[in-house]
Structure 1
């Protein structure tokens, strides 16, 4: 997946979804904002797909929220379900990549740049997606593909969301 165009990273959260995009060469990652989730509403898959298309994405990288020991959680299962629904609705490849410590890295990065994180949760979420994407790009530059590919299971066209 690395070196095949622009990758669109997604940091899925309860309230916000952080987003980042790579350059065409797969060398640089940039935060591109957030999507806001509304409690009790369907996941914003259509908006996610619209933004990926608008940015010229050739694949998705979803952060997989494992617990500190690397075990699956309820959030991990939710992200797997969302990625599977997305795979059923469009043709771009989707990879799930361990996102442990991306938020703490994003917070550290913002502070190192002399910024405050107070009142900037959206910036932190977008930066966490950027940190995730940077790790994928670094690994790809060394010939390593991180994570696992989400298979588009025939007959699972999602729930129409």
Structure 2
């Protein structure tokens, strides 16, 4: 089996998480400067087998698209063009940032460490991936 790679897209930073090869465990991979994201994904998929990109879909409480969806759609077009062999699936990502912050508190990270927005993005991607794995 190949890995599933989750993407918590942001206009500045993007959090990434990945499964193990058996698709059992979701782990944070890294946070990447969004301008370097496509290049990072190309390099990663050249060295690791990835069968699916899982991209967070931010929605409002009324189920309408969030403002950031415009940026995500542009990214998805570029991703499909650059890495057409890997399918993309969207997953509702409502509350993942709040859940990521709570996870940091629950795990005992100090207040100073909880200000690390890159870590929040990576944990958010992990939560998106974990929820997908639970639903499978």
Q: Deviations over 1:93-123 (max 9, x none)?
A: 1111111111111111111111134331111
Matched, 1:13 2:10: yes
Structure 1 residue 59: deviation in Å? 1.3
Distance 1:44 1:32 in 2: 13
What is residue 65 of structure 1 aligned with on the other side? 58
Structure 2: distance between partners of 1:94 and 1:128: 18
| 2:108 aligned to which of 101, 105, 114 | 114
Contact 1:8–1:52 (CA<8 Å) still a contact in 2?
no
Secondary structure of the corresponding residue to residue 97 of structure 2 = helix
* 111-120 or 19-28, which deviates more: 111-120
Where does structure 2 lack aligned partners over 5 or more consecutive residues? none
Q: Deviations over 1:30-56 (max 9, x none)?
A: 00111113xxxx563122222243343
Confirm or deny that 1:97 pairs with 2:94.
Answer: no
Equivalent residue pairs, number: 133
- Which range is displaced more, 128-137 or 82-91? 82-91
**RMSD (Å), alpha carbons:** 1.7
Larger deviation, residues 47-56 vs 120-129: 47-56
Spell out, residue by residue over 1:59-103, the C-alpha distance to the aligned partner (whole angstroms, 9 max, x if none): 100111112222113311221221122112221011111111111
Detail structure 1 runs of 4+ shifted over 4 Å in the superposition. Answer: none
Contact 1:7–1:60, Cα closer than 8 Å, also in 2: yes
Aligned to 2:135: 139
1:114 alignment partner, SS class: coil
Q: Distance in 2 between matches of 1:139 and 1:53?
A: 28
| Paired position in structure 2 for 1:76 | 69
**Aligned match of 1:85:** 78
Calculate the TM-score normalised by the size of structure 1.
0.75
- For residues 71 and 108 of structure 2, the distance between their equivalents in structure 1, rounded to whole angstroms, comes to 35
Equivalent pair of 2:105/2:114 in contact (CA under 8 Å): no
Return the structure number with greater helix share: 2
